[in-house]
């Protein structure tokens, strides 16, 4: 049901279904913004929930059309607030429709971005989790098309809050760990109930947001997530990117965490 917080696996499946070559034809952009980065953003922003920003409603959304704009053109329009898994603001959608409407093509299937009804689109997005995913990558795609081509630059501008400068780098660090996990090679350990894997995964997302509902989303406690996340943060900080040395350090970390030894594939293999 749209609006309900999702488990990690539900969110992962939803991201894959709603961010792919069928929906976004720009392969270069997809090479910069990954599924893993979207997952990090969605966890930090809303803990995997397709919701409206707290303390706002559709009445506030409509103030862009029902109330006069501020005299200072640099200020937000009345009632501006964010929606979706990644919390894209209404005024951002207004800019995209004005400056790059093609990035909104088929957000509502069959509707060109230039014809998108922004007065009702909040309701359409909040009742459809797939659209709640698409909203974020479409906003980032607009930034990419405007000339911001680096992952760090896109994350910084998308994050948009100068008072929280550490948030976008934390998204990227979380993404880096997720991607590195996929490159560890066989690690021989038994994890019949997936608790070891989920604890390691929760630690990666702890980097992006350390005070979330980990038990609901990952099946492990916040304390257990922190026990993995703190040393993971240090490993990422030491290695500066998805490098062979990071993968080697992370592999040893996982082996130490689960009490495993390198070997053949097993039910607990990463």
Q: How far is CA 46 from CA 51, 172, 213, in A?
A: 7, 17, 10
pLDDT computed for residue 267 by the predictor: 38
Q: Which two tokens stand for residue 194?
A: 């997936």
Predicted local confidence at residue 268, as pLDDT = 45
3-state secondary structure of 24: coil
Final residue before a domain boundary, out of 130, 159, 188: 159
Name the residue range of residue 28's domain: 8-159
Q: Are residues 110 and 202 in the same domain?
A: no
106 with 145, same domain: the answer is yes
Query: Which positions of the chain have pLDDT values less than 70?
Result: 1, 261-270
* Structural domain count of the chain: 2
**154 lies in the same domain as 177:** no
Residues 171 and 131 in one domain: no
Examine the domain organization and report whether 185 and 205 are in the same domain: yes
Residue 32's CB is within 10 A of a number of other CB atoms, namely 18
- Same domain flag for 94 and 132: yes
Given this model, what pLDDT does residue 262 score? 56
Name 262's bridge partners.
187
Task: Give the per-residue pLDDT at 16.
Answer: 98
Supply the pLDDT for residue 215.
98
d(Cα 99, Cα 128) in Å, to the nearest integer?
A: 25
pTM reported for the whole predicted model: 0.94
Is residue 213 situated within a structural domain? yes
């Amino acid at each position: 049901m749209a609006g309900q917080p999702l488990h990690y696996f539900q969110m992962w499946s939803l991201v894959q279904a709603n961010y792919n070559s069928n929906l976004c034809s720009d392969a270069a952009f997809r090479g910069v913004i990954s599924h893993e980065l979207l997952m990090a953003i969605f966890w930090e922003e809303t803990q995997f929930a397709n919701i409206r920003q707290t303390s706002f409603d559709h009445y506030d959304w409509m103030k862009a059309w029902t109330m006069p704009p501020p005299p200072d053109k640099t200020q937000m329009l009345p009632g501006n607030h964010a929606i979706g898994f990644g919390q894209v603001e209404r005024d951002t959608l207004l800019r995209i429709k004005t400056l790059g409407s093609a990035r909104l093509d088929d957000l509502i299937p069959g509707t060109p971005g230039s014809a998108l009804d922004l007065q009702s689109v909040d309701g359409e997005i909040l009742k459809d989790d797939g659209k709640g995913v698409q909203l974020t990558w479409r906003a980032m795609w607009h930034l990419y098309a405007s000339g911001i081509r680096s992952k760090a630059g896109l994350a910084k501008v998308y994050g948009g809050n100068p008072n929280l400068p550490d948030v976008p780098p934390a998204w990227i660090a979380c993404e880096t760990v997720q991607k590195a996990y996929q490159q560890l090679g066989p690690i021989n350990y038994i994890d019949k109930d997936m608790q070891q894997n989920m604890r390691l995964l929760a630690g990666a997302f702890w980097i992006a947001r350390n005070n979330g509902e980990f038990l609901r989303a990952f099946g492990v406690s916040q304390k257990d997530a922190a026990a993995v996340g703190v040393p993971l943060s240090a490993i990422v900080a030491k290695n500066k990117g998805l490098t062979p040395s990071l993968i080697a350090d992370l592999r040893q970390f996982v082996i130490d965490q689960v009490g495993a030894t390198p070997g053949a594939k097993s039910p607990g293999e990463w």
